[in-house]
Amino acid sequence: MGNDGGSIPTRRELVKEAARNPTSTELKDKQKEHLAHRWSICPISNQPLVKPIVSDHSGNLYNKDAIIQFLLPVEVSSVDKGEYEKFIQGRVKSLKDVVEVQFEVEQDEESKDTRWVCPITSKRLGPSVKAVYIVPCGHAFSQEAIKEMQSDGKCVQCGTNYEERDIIPILPSTEKDKAHVLERLDILKSLGLTHALKKASGSKKRKAADSKATDAKSSEIRDNDPGRKLKVPTNGIARSGTPQSGTSTPKPSNGIRDTATADLTSRVLQEGEVRKKRRQDNDNINSLYTKKTTGTDNRKGDFMTRGFSIPANARYD
């Protein structure tokens, strides 16, 4: 094994360093390196973060164009949505689930590079400084700066009012910050709101369904009411409360409540029936099929059934 006459190395000679748990300093350095990558690279497109930049409810940063590509239909989008979904994990279902983060940009005179800074403390926002942004305006600050102006309840950049729960930590690393964003999301869901404080897409539908169920229940109660009486006109014929006339009002089709939309849908369906009838009555199509004839002459049929027939009085010589 050692090519020196059969010497066998021991484990101590092979293992240079014994297995040990990483120290707290090594863990911090590794976490800082991970945060530095997340502060500079979009995690779903693997491209550098450039404006416009958006964030979900967990404080993750993305390029806005990458999110739009992810939300496009499969036949339109040119990206692998499976790879995107591995990181997003259902946190972004529409643009209502993200907020555009407004970073204050400052240019370094020596390196000529741009960097994101806090507009109050002028500290560079990144892995070494805890940063937050406000919903819905999206302006970003350092965490220590937001604590100083939190009592005012207004953004110093645009004057937008905000609540304490709407302060979102960017790339949270502590368990307290992670619990805060999850608790806020549960509160917003109960209020029918998204991360951007906009109405959720399903809230209106649920409200309409509840209203429809309530109307159906009240109608059933009225129908079963024994004290309900029908209006009887002078001619003795009982009629319902619905007015009847020679001209009937078009009824909404397919459960559409909007009258204009229902009329348009009904008109489109009627035009489709007319076109279908015309195709069925087309002579060019009907000529391909056999028609009933009163005589025995096959020549009255169409070209598919027409053939040669021998007369009954034909003589064979």
Domain annotation for the chain: domains and CATH numbers? 28-190 (3.30.40.10)
Beta-strand ranges (E) seen in the chain are: 53-55, 61-63, 99-101, 104-107, 114-117, 131-134, 140-142, 167-169
Report the 10 Å Cβ neighbour count for 93.
Answer: 13
Q: 8-15: long-range contacts at Cβ-Cβ below 8 A with a sequence spacing of 24 or more?
A: none
Q: How far apart are CA 102 and CA 151, in angstroms?
A: 21
Residue 178, H or E segment = helix 175-190
pLDDT of residue 29: 85
pLDDT of residue 247: 45
Q: pLDDT means per 10 residues in the chain (317 residues)?
A: 68 70 83 91 91 94 91 71 83 93 86 86 91 95 86 85 93 92 94 93 56 57 50 45 45 55 63 69 61 51 56 61
- Angle (CA) 77 82 88, round 5°: 95
Q: How far apart are CA 306 and CA 214, in angstroms?
A: 66
pLDDT of residue 232: 43
pLDDT of residue 272: 61
